[in-house]
Structure 1
Amino acid sequence: METRTRYFLLKVIIAVAFLVAILATPEDVRAQSEREPPLIEADVQPRPVEQALVDSENFEVAAVVGWLNIEDFGSSLMYGARLSYNISEAFFVEAGIGFAEAEQTSFERLAGDVQLLPDDDRDYRWYHLNLGYRLLPGEAFFPGGQVFNTNFYLTGGAGATDFAGDNRFTVNYGAGYQVLFTDSFSAHLNVRQYLFDSDILGDDKTSVNTEVSASVSMFF
Protein backbone atom coordinates (compact mmCIF):
# COMPACT_ATOMS: atom_id res chain seq x y z
CA MET A 1 0.00 0.00 0.00
CA GLU A 2 2.77 2.43 0.86
CA THR A 3 4.56 1.57 -2.36
CA ARG A 4 1.49 2.38 -4.41
CA THR A 5 1.13 5.71 -2.62
CA ARG A 6 4.74 6.69 -3.44
CA TYR A 7 4.29 5.62 -7.07
CA PHE A 8 1.10 7.70 -7.34
CA LEU A 9 2.80 10.79 -5.86
CA LEU A 10 5.73 10.43 -8.29
CA LYS A 11 3.33 10.34 -11.24
CA VAL A 12 1.54 13.45 -9.95
CA ILE A 13 4.84 15.36 -9.60
CA ILE A 14 5.92 14.42 -13.17
CA ALA A 15 2.53 15.44 -14.59
CA VAL A 16 2.61 18.82 -12.82
CA ALA A 17 6.16 19.53 -14.08
CA PHE A 18 5.17 18.66 -17.66
CA LEU A 19 2.10 20.90 -17.41
CA VAL A 20 4.18 23.84 -16.15
CA ALA A 21 6.65 23.41 -19.04
CA ILE A 22 3.80 23.46 -21.59
CA LEU A 23 2.14 26.54 -20.09
CA ALA A 24 5.41 28.60 -20.01
CA THR A 25 5.01 31.67 -22.32
CA PRO A 26 7.68 33.07 -24.77
CA GLU A 27 7.90 36.16 -22.55
CA ASP A 28 9.01 34.01 -19.68
CA VAL A 29 11.63 32.35 -21.86
CA ARG A 30 12.97 35.71 -23.15
CA ALA A 31 13.10 37.13 -19.63
CA GLN A 32 15.11 34.17 -18.46
CA SER A 33 17.54 34.42 -21.45
CA GLU A 34 18.04 38.14 -20.81
CA ARG A 35 19.02 37.44 -17.20
CA GLU A 36 21.63 34.89 -18.28
CA PRO A 37 24.78 36.25 -20.04
CA PRO A 38 25.71 34.62 -23.42
CA LEU A 39 28.34 31.94 -23.36
CA ILE A 40 30.32 33.62 -26.24
CA GLU A 41 30.61 37.40 -26.57
CA ALA A 42 30.68 38.64 -30.21
CA ASP A 43 33.77 40.69 -31.01
CA VAL A 44 32.89 42.49 -34.28
CA GLN A 45 34.83 45.63 -35.21
CA PRO A 46 33.62 47.77 -38.17
CA ARG A 47 36.22 48.22 -40.91
CA PRO A 48 36.62 51.61 -42.60
CA VAL A 49 35.98 51.59 -46.37
CA GLU A 50 37.93 53.86 -48.71
CA GLN A 51 36.60 54.66 -52.17
CA ALA A 52 38.90 56.18 -54.79
CA LEU A 53 37.18 55.87 -58.14
CA VAL A 54 36.96 59.28 -59.81
CA ASP A 55 37.32 62.50 -57.86
CA SER A 56 34.13 64.45 -57.24
CA GLU A 57 35.39 67.29 -59.47
CA ASN A 58 33.93 67.12 -62.98
CA PHE A 59 36.73 68.79 -64.97
CA GLU A 60 39.85 67.02 -66.23
CA VAL A 61 42.83 68.67 -67.91
CA ALA A 62 45.42 66.62 -69.81
CA ALA A 63 48.82 67.14 -71.43
CA VAL A 64 49.23 65.04 -74.59
CA VAL A 65 52.30 63.83 -76.50
CA GLY A 66 52.65 61.27 -79.27
CA TRP A 67 52.98 60.74 -83.01
CA LEU A 68 50.78 62.01 -85.84
CA ASN A 69 50.89 60.41 -89.27
CA ILE A 70 50.04 63.14 -91.80
CA GLU A 71 49.00 61.53 -95.06
CA ASP A 72 51.63 62.12 -97.79
CA PHE A 73 53.86 63.97 -95.27
CA GLY A 74 55.15 61.21 -93.00
CA SER A 75 54.97 60.87 -89.21
CA SER A 76 55.77 63.72 -86.86
CA LEU A 77 55.99 64.36 -83.16
CA MET A 78 52.78 65.93 -81.86
CA TYR A 79 51.83 67.57 -78.61
CA GLY A 80 48.74 69.24 -77.26
CA ALA A 81 46.25 69.68 -74.44
CA ARG A 82 42.71 68.55 -73.70
CA LEU A 83 40.01 69.72 -71.33
CA SER A 84 37.16 67.36 -70.45
CA TYR A 85 33.92 67.74 -68.54
CA ASN A 86 32.32 64.63 -67.05
CA ILE A 87 28.58 64.84 -67.72
CA SER A 88 27.99 61.52 -65.95
CA GLU A 89 29.87 58.33 -65.13
CA ALA A 90 29.47 57.24 -68.75
CA PHE A 91 29.49 60.42 -70.88
CA PHE A 92 31.93 63.32 -71.16
CA VAL A 93 32.68 66.19 -73.54
CA GLU A 94 36.20 67.10 -74.57
CA ALA A 95 37.84 70.12 -76.17
CA GLY A 96 41.36 69.69 -77.50
CA ILE A 97 44.15 71.31 -79.47
CA GLY A 98 47.25 69.77 -81.03
CA PHE A 99 50.40 70.79 -82.89
CA ALA A 100 52.79 69.04 -85.29
CA GLU A 101 55.06 69.84 -88.22
CA ALA A 102 54.75 68.03 -91.55
CA GLU A 103 57.80 66.28 -92.96
CA GLN A 104 58.78 66.24 -96.63
CA THR A 105 56.82 64.11 -99.06
CA SER A 106 58.53 61.21 -100.82
CA PHE A 107 58.54 63.26 -104.04
CA GLU A 108 60.37 66.13 -102.31
CA ARG A 109 62.98 63.76 -100.89
CA LEU A 110 63.62 62.17 -104.28
CA ALA A 111 63.58 65.41 -106.30
CA GLY A 112 66.13 67.17 -104.14
CA ASP A 113 65.55 70.95 -104.28
CA VAL A 114 61.84 70.73 -105.09
CA GLN A 115 59.62 72.00 -102.24
CA LEU A 116 55.86 71.58 -102.47
CA LEU A 117 55.20 73.60 -99.32
CA PRO A 118 57.17 76.46 -97.79
CA ASP A 119 58.35 75.91 -94.25
CA ASP A 120 55.69 78.18 -92.73
CA ASP A 121 52.89 76.12 -94.32
CA ARG A 122 54.19 72.89 -92.83
CA ASP A 123 52.94 73.85 -89.38
CA TYR A 124 50.02 71.55 -88.62
CA ARG A 125 47.49 72.61 -85.97
CA TRP A 126 44.09 71.16 -85.16
CA TYR A 127 41.37 71.64 -82.59
CA HIS A 128 38.19 69.73 -81.90
CA LEU A 129 35.12 69.30 -79.70
CA ASN A 130 34.23 65.68 -78.98
CA LEU A 131 31.67 63.57 -77.16
CA GLY A 132 33.05 60.57 -75.28
CA TYR A 133 31.45 57.40 -73.94
CA ARG A 134 33.03 55.12 -71.34
CA LEU A 135 32.27 51.65 -72.58
CA LEU A 136 34.11 49.11 -70.43
CA PRO A 137 35.06 50.14 -66.87
CA GLY A 138 37.39 47.65 -65.19
CA GLU A 139 40.56 47.17 -63.18
CA ALA A 140 44.28 46.89 -63.93
CA PHE A 141 46.60 44.80 -61.75
CA PHE A 142 50.19 45.95 -61.24
CA PRO A 143 53.14 44.26 -59.49
CA GLY A 144 53.08 44.47 -55.71
CA GLY A 145 49.36 43.83 -55.46
CA GLN A 146 48.40 47.30 -56.74
CA VAL A 147 44.94 47.50 -58.34
CA PHE A 148 43.72 50.57 -60.23
CA ASN A 149 40.40 51.41 -61.83
CA THR A 150 40.35 51.68 -65.63
CA ASN A 151 38.05 52.88 -68.42
CA PHE A 152 37.91 52.00 -72.11
CA TYR A 153 36.13 54.75 -74.02
CA LEU A 154 35.14 55.90 -77.49
CA THR A 155 35.26 59.50 -78.76
CA GLY A 156 34.04 61.32 -81.83
CA GLY A 157 33.46 64.87 -82.92
CA ALA A 158 34.41 67.69 -85.25
CA GLY A 159 36.72 70.68 -85.48
CA ALA A 160 39.20 72.24 -87.88
CA THR A 161 42.76 71.79 -89.11
CA ASP A 162 45.13 74.61 -90.11
CA PHE A 163 47.59 73.19 -92.64
CA ALA A 164 49.21 74.20 -95.94
CA GLY A 165 47.88 77.75 -95.69
CA ASP A 166 44.25 76.72 -95.36
CA ASN A 167 41.69 75.99 -92.62
CA ARG A 168 39.90 72.70 -93.22
CA PHE A 169 36.79 71.29 -91.54
CA THR A 170 37.81 68.07 -89.79
CA VAL A 171 35.94 65.15 -88.26
CA ASN A 172 37.59 62.70 -85.91
CA TYR A 173 36.91 59.47 -84.07
CA GLY A 174 38.92 57.12 -81.91
CA ALA A 175 39.30 55.13 -78.73
CA GLY A 176 41.20 55.48 -75.48
CA TYR A 177 42.22 53.61 -72.35
CA GLN A 178 42.41 55.37 -68.99
CA VAL A 179 44.11 54.20 -65.77
CA LEU A 180 43.10 56.03 -62.55
CA PHE A 181 46.15 55.97 -60.28
CA THR A 182 44.45 58.13 -57.61
CA ASP A 183 41.13 59.88 -57.32
CA SER A 184 42.64 62.98 -58.97
CA PHE A 185 45.42 61.67 -61.28
CA SER A 186 45.17 59.39 -64.33
CA ALA A 187 46.96 58.39 -67.54
CA HIS A 188 45.54 57.76 -71.03
CA LEU A 189 46.51 55.93 -74.21
CA ASN A 190 44.74 57.14 -77.36
CA VAL A 191 44.35 56.22 -81.03
CA ARG A 192 42.44 58.68 -83.23
CA GLN A 193 41.73 59.36 -86.88
CA TYR A 194 41.35 62.88 -88.30
CA LEU A 195 39.71 63.29 -91.73
CA PHE A 196 39.46 66.37 -93.94
CA ASP A 197 39.19 67.16 -97.66
CA SER A 198 42.57 67.94 -99.20
CA ASP A 199 43.85 69.14 -102.58
CA ILE A 200 47.41 69.90 -101.45
CA LEU A 201 48.98 67.61 -104.06
CA GLY A 202 46.54 68.58 -106.81
CA ASP A 203 43.88 65.87 -106.52
CA ASP A 204 40.81 66.26 -104.34
CA LYS A 205 40.68 63.50 -101.75
CA THR A 206 39.94 62.77 -98.10
CA SER A 207 43.13 62.99 -96.07
CA VAL A 208 43.25 60.45 -93.22
CA ASN A 209 45.67 61.31 -90.42
CA THR A 210 46.32 58.97 -87.49
CA GLU A 211 47.28 59.97 -83.96
CA VAL A 212 48.85 57.59 -81.43
CA SER A 213 49.41 59.38 -78.13
CA ALA A 214 49.67 59.22 -74.37
CA SER A 215 48.59 61.77 -71.81
CA VAL A 216 48.49 62.48 -68.09
CA SER A 217 45.55 64.29 -66.56
CA MET A 218 44.39 65.92 -63.35
CA PHE A 219 40.85 66.41 -62.04
CA PHE A 220 39.82 69.76 -60.61
Structure 2
Amino acid sequence: MESWTQRIFLTLSGGSLLALLSLPALAADDNKPLIEPDVRPQHVDEALIDTENFELGAFAGVLNIEDFGSSFVWGGRLGYNLSESFFMEANIGFAEGGETSFETLAGNVQLLSDDDREYTYYNVNFGYRVLPGEAFIGESYAFNTNFYLVAGAGSTDFAGDNRFTWNVGMGYQILLTDSLALNFSAREHMYQIDVLGEDKTAFNTELSTGLSVFF
Protein backbone atom coordinates (compact mmCIF):
# COMPACT_ATOMS: atom_id res chain seq x y z
CA MET A 1 0.00 0.00 0.00
CA GLU A 2 2.76 2.44 0.92
CA SER A 3 4.67 1.75 -2.27
CA TRP A 4 1.53 2.32 -4.36
CA THR A 5 0.76 5.57 -2.51
CA GLN A 6 4.34 6.76 -2.92
CA ARG A 7 4.18 5.94 -6.63
CA ILE A 8 1.07 8.11 -7.10
CA PHE A 9 2.62 10.99 -5.10
CA LEU A 10 5.83 10.91 -7.11
CA THR A 11 3.86 10.85 -10.38
CA LEU A 12 1.77 13.87 -9.37
CA SER A 13 4.82 15.75 -8.06
CA GLY A 14 6.74 15.11 -11.27
CA GLY A 15 3.85 16.34 -13.41
CA SER A 16 3.52 19.52 -11.36
CA LEU A 17 7.24 20.16 -11.65
CA LEU A 18 7.18 19.73 -15.44
CA ALA A 19 4.21 22.10 -15.68
CA LEU A 20 6.05 24.74 -13.65
CA LEU A 21 9.17 24.38 -15.79
CA SER A 22 7.18 24.80 -19.02
CA LEU A 23 5.44 28.05 -17.91
CA PRO A 24 8.35 30.42 -18.86
CA ALA A 25 8.62 28.77 -22.26
CA LEU A 26 4.89 29.22 -22.88
CA ALA A 27 5.07 32.83 -21.74
CA ALA A 28 8.01 33.43 -24.07
CA ASP A 29 6.11 31.85 -26.95
CA ASP A 30 3.13 34.11 -26.25
CA ASN A 31 5.38 37.21 -26.73
CA LYS A 32 6.59 36.13 -30.16
CA PRO A 33 4.81 37.71 -33.16
CA LEU A 34 2.89 35.39 -35.42
CA ILE A 35 4.81 36.73 -38.45
CA GLU A 36 8.53 37.43 -38.27
CA PRO A 37 9.24 40.53 -40.45
CA ASP A 38 12.13 40.16 -42.87
CA VAL A 39 13.69 43.66 -42.55
CA ARG A 40 17.11 44.35 -43.96
CA PRO A 41 18.69 47.80 -43.31
CA GLN A 42 19.62 49.66 -46.49
CA HIS A 43 22.65 51.92 -46.80
CA VAL A 44 21.74 55.40 -48.07
CA ASP A 45 24.49 57.49 -49.61
CA GLU A 46 23.45 61.17 -49.60
CA ALA A 47 25.13 63.82 -51.72
CA LEU A 48 26.11 66.63 -49.34
CA ILE A 49 28.12 69.86 -49.51
CA ASP A 50 31.31 69.59 -47.48
CA THR A 51 32.25 72.60 -45.39
CA GLU A 52 35.20 74.69 -46.65
CA ASN A 53 35.02 73.25 -50.17
CA PHE A 54 35.62 75.27 -53.32
CA GLU A 55 33.11 75.18 -56.16
CA LEU A 56 33.98 75.84 -59.81
CA GLY A 57 31.26 76.18 -62.40
CA ALA A 58 30.11 77.48 -65.77
CA PHE A 59 26.75 78.92 -66.74
CA ALA A 60 24.77 80.12 -69.77
CA GLY A 61 21.47 81.89 -70.21
CA VAL A 62 19.77 85.14 -71.23
CA LEU A 63 20.62 88.70 -70.12
CA ASN A 64 18.17 91.52 -70.76
CA ILE A 65 20.29 94.69 -71.16
CA GLU A 66 17.95 97.64 -70.58
CA ASP A 67 17.42 99.63 -73.80
CA PHE A 68 19.69 97.23 -75.69
CA GLY A 69 17.56 94.09 -75.92
CA SER A 70 18.11 90.54 -74.74
CA SER A 71 21.38 88.74 -75.32
CA PHE A 72 22.94 85.34 -74.81
CA VAL A 73 25.13 85.41 -71.69
CA TRP A 74 27.75 82.94 -70.53
CA GLY A 75 30.44 82.89 -67.88
CA GLY A 76 32.12 81.22 -64.94
CA ARG A 77 31.79 81.04 -61.19
CA LEU A 78 34.18 80.31 -58.30
CA GLY A 79 32.57 79.70 -54.92
CA TYR A 80 33.76 78.96 -51.41
CA ASN A 81 31.56 77.37 -48.72
CA LEU A 82 32.05 79.11 -45.38
CA SER A 83 29.59 76.72 -43.69
CA GLU A 84 26.59 74.57 -44.61
CA SER A 85 24.49 77.76 -44.87
CA PHE A 86 26.82 80.58 -45.93
CA PHE A 87 29.08 80.91 -48.97
CA MET A 88 30.93 83.45 -51.10
CA GLU A 89 31.23 83.53 -54.89
CA ALA A 90 33.04 85.41 -57.64
CA ASN A 91 31.43 85.61 -61.10
CA ILE A 92 32.40 86.76 -64.58
CA GLY A 93 29.92 87.03 -67.44
CA PHE A 94 29.98 87.96 -71.14
CA ALA A 95 27.19 89.24 -73.39
CA GLU A 96 26.61 91.72 -76.25
CA GLY A 97 24.17 94.60 -76.41
CA GLY A 98 21.87 94.95 -79.39
CA GLU A 99 20.40 98.03 -81.05
CA THR A 100 18.16 100.44 -79.17
CA SER A 101 14.69 101.25 -80.47
CA PHE A 102 16.00 104.71 -81.49
CA GLU A 103 18.74 103.14 -83.62
CA THR A 104 16.24 100.79 -85.23
CA LEU A 105 13.87 103.61 -86.16
CA ALA A 106 16.56 106.10 -87.22
CA GLY A 107 18.17 103.76 -89.70
CA ASN A 108 21.92 104.43 -90.03
CA VAL A 109 22.34 106.09 -86.62
CA GLN A 110 24.69 104.17 -84.32
CA LEU A 111 24.90 105.20 -80.66
CA LEU A 112 27.61 102.64 -79.89
CA SER A 113 30.40 101.02 -81.87
CA ASP A 114 30.59 97.25 -82.08
CA ASP A 115 33.36 97.19 -79.45
CA ASP A 116 31.29 99.31 -77.05
CA ARG A 117 28.42 96.83 -77.30
CA GLU A 118 30.56 94.14 -75.70
CA TYR A 119 29.19 93.57 -72.20
CA THR A 120 31.42 92.11 -69.48
CA TYR A 121 30.68 92.00 -65.77
CA TYR A 122 32.59 90.95 -62.65
CA ASN A 123 31.19 90.65 -59.15
CA VAL A 124 31.76 89.18 -55.71
CA ASN A 125 28.69 88.01 -53.78
CA PHE A 126 27.73 86.73 -50.37
CA GLY A 127 25.15 83.93 -50.30
CA TYR A 128 22.83 82.26 -47.82
CA ARG A 129 21.07 78.90 -48.26
CA VAL A 130 17.62 79.49 -46.80
CA LEU A 131 15.64 76.37 -47.75
CA PRO A 132 17.51 73.05 -47.93
CA GLY A 133 15.32 70.25 -49.20
CA GLU A 134 15.02 67.28 -51.55
CA ALA A 135 13.96 66.70 -55.14
CA PHE A 136 12.53 63.34 -56.26
CA ILE A 137 12.63 61.67 -59.66
CA GLY A 138 10.21 58.77 -59.60
CA GLU A 139 10.43 56.39 -56.65
CA SER A 140 14.10 55.47 -57.01
CA TYR A 141 16.01 58.76 -57.01
CA ALA A 142 16.20 61.58 -54.46
CA PHE A 143 18.60 64.53 -54.54
CA ASN A 144 19.44 67.10 -51.88
CA THR A 145 18.64 70.67 -52.95
CA ASN A 146 19.28 74.23 -51.78
CA PHE A 147 17.31 77.42 -52.39
CA TYR A 148 19.61 80.37 -51.80
CA LEU A 149 19.82 84.17 -51.90
CA VAL A 150 22.83 86.21 -53.05
CA ALA A 151 23.83 89.87 -53.06
CA GLY A 152 27.04 91.69 -53.89
CA ALA A 153 28.86 94.26 -55.97
CA GLY A 154 31.29 94.53 -58.85
CA SER A 155 31.75 96.33 -62.15
CA THR A 156 30.35 96.24 -65.68
CA ASP A 157 32.27 97.16 -68.84
CA PHE A 158 29.71 98.43 -71.34
CA ALA A 159 29.09 101.41 -73.65
CA GLY A 160 32.68 102.62 -73.39
CA ASP A 161 32.74 102.89 -69.62
CA ASN A 162 33.39 100.85 -66.48
CA ARG A 163 30.32 101.05 -64.23
CA PHE A 164 30.03 100.17 -60.55
CA THR A 165 27.30 97.53 -60.34
CA TRP A 166 25.11 96.12 -57.57
CA ASN A 167 23.51 92.73 -58.01
CA VAL A 168 20.95 90.67 -56.11
CA GLY A 169 19.44 87.33 -56.92
CA MET A 170 18.35 83.87 -55.99
CA GLY A 171 19.08 80.35 -57.10
CA TYR A 172 18.15 76.71 -56.84
CA GLN A 173 20.86 74.05 -56.62
CA ILE A 174 20.46 70.29 -57.08
CA LEU A 175 23.29 68.10 -55.75
CA LEU A 176 23.66 65.32 -58.30
CA THR A 177 26.63 63.80 -56.45
CA ASP A 178 29.04 64.88 -53.70
CA SER A 179 31.13 66.64 -56.34
CA LEU A 180 28.65 67.74 -59.03
CA ALA A 181 25.70 70.17 -58.85
CA LEU A 182 23.10 71.62 -61.24
CA ASN A 183 22.27 75.31 -60.73
CA PHE A 184 19.37 77.56 -61.80
CA SER A 185 19.84 81.26 -61.15
CA ALA A 186 18.06 84.63 -61.49
CA ARG A 187 20.05 87.87 -60.98
CA GLU A 188 19.38 91.60 -61.26
CA HIS A 189 22.35 93.83 -62.22
CA MET A 190 21.99 97.58 -61.50
CA TYR A 191 24.25 100.48 -62.58
CA GLN A 192 24.05 104.12 -63.66
CA ILE A 193 24.09 104.89 -67.40
CA ASP A 194 23.49 108.01 -69.56
CA VAL A 195 24.02 106.73 -73.11
CA LEU A 196 20.56 107.88 -74.23
CA GLY A 197 21.06 111.40 -72.82
CA GLU A 198 19.43 110.85 -69.42
CA ASP A 199 21.30 109.60 -66.37
CA LYS A 200 19.34 106.70 -64.91
CA THR A 201 19.67 103.36 -63.11
CA ALA A 202 19.59 100.44 -65.52
CA PHE A 203 18.11 97.14 -64.37
CA ASN A 204 19.48 94.16 -66.28
CA THR A 205 17.83 90.81 -65.58
CA GLU A 206 19.77 87.57 -66.01
CA LEU A 207 18.35 84.04 -66.12
CA SER A 208 20.86 81.22 -66.38
CA THR A 209 21.61 77.58 -65.65
CA GLY A 210 24.88 75.75 -65.24
CA LEU A 211 26.96 72.97 -63.74
CA SER A 212 29.52 73.18 -60.96
CA VAL A 213 32.04 70.82 -59.39
CA PHE A 214 33.31 70.76 -55.79
CA PHE A 215 36.96 70.26 -54.93
Question: Which range, TM-score by smaller chain?
Answer: 0.7 to 0.9
Among 54, 65, 71, which residue is 2:66 paired with? 71
Compute the displacement of 1:57 (Å).
6.2
Q: Distance in 1 between matches of 2:190 and 2:110?
A: 24
Equivalent residue for 1:177?
A: 172
The answer to whether the Cα contact below 8 Å between 2:147 and 2:172 also exists between their aligned partners in 1 is yes
Secondary structure of the equivalent of 2:115?
Answer: helix
Equivalent residue for 1:217?
A: 212
Q: Deviation digits for residues 131-169 of structure 1, max 9, x if unmatched? A: 000000000111352111100000000000000110000
Secondary structure of the equivalent of 1:132?
Answer: strand
Equivalent residue for 2:200?
A: 205
Among 144, 148, 152, which residue is 1:153 paired with? 148
Compute the displacement of 1:125 (Å).
0.4
Residues 86-101 of structure 1 aligned to structure 2 (within 5 Å): 86-101=81-96
Residues 55-134 of structure 1 aligned to structure 2 (within 5 Å): 55=50, 58-134=53-129
CA spacing shift, 1:218–1:113, aligned 2, 3 Å? same
Count of equivalent residues: 193
Q: Distance in 1 between matches of 2:72 and 2:110?
A: 21
TM-score by length of 2: 0.80
The answer to whether the Cα contact below 8 Å between 2:47 and 2:143 also exists between their aligned partners in 1 is no
Q: 4+ residue runs of structure 1 moved beyond 3 angstroms? A: 42-49
Equivalent residue for 1:3?
A: none
Percent same amino acid among aligned pairs? Answer: 58
Q: Distance in 1 between matches of 2:43 and 2:173?
A: 27
The answer to whether the Cα contact below 8 Å between 1:80 and 1:97 also exists between their aligned partners in 2 is yes
The answer to whether the Cα contact below 8 Å between 1:57 and 1:219 also exists between their aligned partners in 2 is no
Q: Distance in 2 between matches of 1:67 and 1:44?
A: 51
Q: Deviation digits for residues 170-208 of structure 1, max 9, x if unmatched? A: 000000000111111111111100000111111010011
Compute the displacement of 1:46 (Å).
6.1
One-letter amino acid matched to 1:163:
F
Q: Distance in 2 between matches of 1:62 and 1:155?
A: 16
Q: Structure 2 regions of 5+ residues with no counterpart?
A: 14-23
Compute the displacement of 1:53 (Å).
1.6
One-letter amino acid matched to 1:214:
T
CA spacing shift, 1:107–1:137, aligned 2, 3 Å? same
Instruction: Name which one, 1 or 2, has greater alpha-carbon Rg.
Output: 1
Equivalent residue for 1:186?
A: 181
The answer to whether the Cα contact below 8 Å between 1:150 and 1:179 also exists between their aligned partners in 2 is yes
Q: Deviation digits for residues 108-132 of structure 1, max 9, x if unmatched? A: 1111111010111000000000000
CA spacing shift, 1:152–1:46, aligned 2, 3 Å? closer
The answer to whether the Cα contact below 8 Å between 2:51 and 2:84 also exists between their aligned partners in 1 is no
Deviates more, 1:92-101 or 1:140-149: 140-149
Q: Structure 1 regions of 5+ residues with no counterpart?
A: 1-5, 15-32
Secondary structure of the equivalent of 1:71?
Answer: coil
Among 30, 44, 52, which residue is 2:47 paired with? 52
TM-score by length of 1: 0.79
